[in-house]
Structure 1
């Protein structure tokens, strides 16, 4: 019997998924929650085989809970269930070594199959997410360059950016030049547009 825990902040969906999973002879829902903080407390106590977690929840997010499970309770396999096909969410889930990442509009049979598959050591990711991940441009900017661009987005002059980041004006100008070169743009506005389009800012 596979012991499953479900965390989903929409009460109706939470109940529907619980009933769906309970129809399977080899699956048993040992608990559920509608917020991440309660889910994490339950998970430490119940120690289920699989935790199915929504990303956006009150308190701790599903990814926060996944991070905690990865570092403190790795025996519990995590399946992220979400409406968000965003690269930054997916990257964080991969870093937390979640066993599954499915979209909520996936057929229910896929969730049931994934719950069984992760118990055999398989990793199940929705194809749409993998495609997005592989096609997305990687962020070429360093942490310091991103900090400079974040200040530039506020419309601040170079001297003010330098003061805020404890840099000299010359160094700040060098960072801006490096940003423009890496992004293939000619000015701050173009650089900010490219960075925001790719969700780097």
Structure 2
């Protein structure tokens, strides 16, 4: 019997997944939680074979909860569920040691199959999403440069960005110049477009 911990903050979705898995003869849900910070304590109490975690959990997101779980119970396999299959989220999940990544609009039978697969030591990834993740560029921007570019993406002018981020106008100009250079962009607007397409903002 494969024991499962389910972390999903939407009660209706959580109930539907539990009902779905209850129909599987070899899978049983042994714990349900609705927040990311409850994942590790629940897992320590019931020692599940597989943790099925939603990416967007309150208190602690699913990826951070997966990393905590990996450190606390290395033998527990992790299957991540997400409503939005974004390549950058997949990359972050893989870096956190997730064993599988499934979009929520997958056919119901795929969830049970994915749980069985990760329980048996296999990886489960959506092929199209995995291919898109491989095509992503590494983000060359620093956290501060991303902050500046986010402000520019919101339409803020140099003096507004400087005031909001407590920087001088010259420093903001320097940051924007470096961003354009690093992204090989034509100008600030092109840099915003490139960063948005890569999901860096």
* 2:188 is equivalent to residue 188 of structure 1: yes
Structure 1 pair 147–9 and aligned structure 2 pair: CA distance change class (3 A): closer
* 2:131 is equivalent to residue 138 of structure 1: no
Structure 1 pair 142–50 and aligned structure 2 pair: CA distance change class (3 A): same
Q: Secondary structure at the match of 2:158?
A: coil
Instruction: Report the RMSD for the aligned CA atoms in angstroms.
Output: 2.7
| 1:85-107 Cα shifts (integer Å, max 9, x gaps) | 12232111011111110011111
Q: Secondary structure at the match of 2:40?
A: helix
With normalisation by structure 1, the TM-score equals 0.82
**1:12-161, aligned counterparts within 5 Å?**
12-143=12-143, 145-146=145-146, 149-150=149-150, 154-157=156-159, 160=162
Q: Secondary structure at the match of 2:139?
A: coil
Structure 1 pair 149–137 and aligned structure 2 pair: CA distance change class (3 A): same
Give the distance between the partners of 1:172 and 1:36, measured in 2 at CA.
36
Structure 1 pair 155–8 and aligned structure 2 pair: CA distance change class (3 A): same
Give the distance between the partners of 2:12 and 2:71, measured in 1 at CA.
31
> Mind listing any 5+ residue stretches in structure 2 that lack a counterpart?
none
Give the distance between the partners of 1:13 and 1:178, measured in 2 at CA.
45
Structure 1 pair 144–115 and aligned structure 2 pair: CA distance change class (3 A): same
- Most deviating of 95-104 and 187-196: 187-196
> Mind listing any 5+ residue stretches in structure 1 that lack a counterpart?
none
Structure 1 pair 124–168 and aligned structure 2 pair: CA distance change class (3 A): same
Give the distance between the partners of 1:149 and 1:23, measured in 2 at CA.
49
Contact 1:51 1:79 in 2 (8 A): yes
State how many pairs are aligned.
198
With normalisation by structure 2, the TM-score equals 0.82
Contact 2:52 2:80 in 1 (8 A): yes
Give the distance between the partners of 1:177 and 1:59, measured in 2 at CA.
37
Structure 1 pair 173–59 and aligned structure 2 pair: CA distance change class (3 A): closer
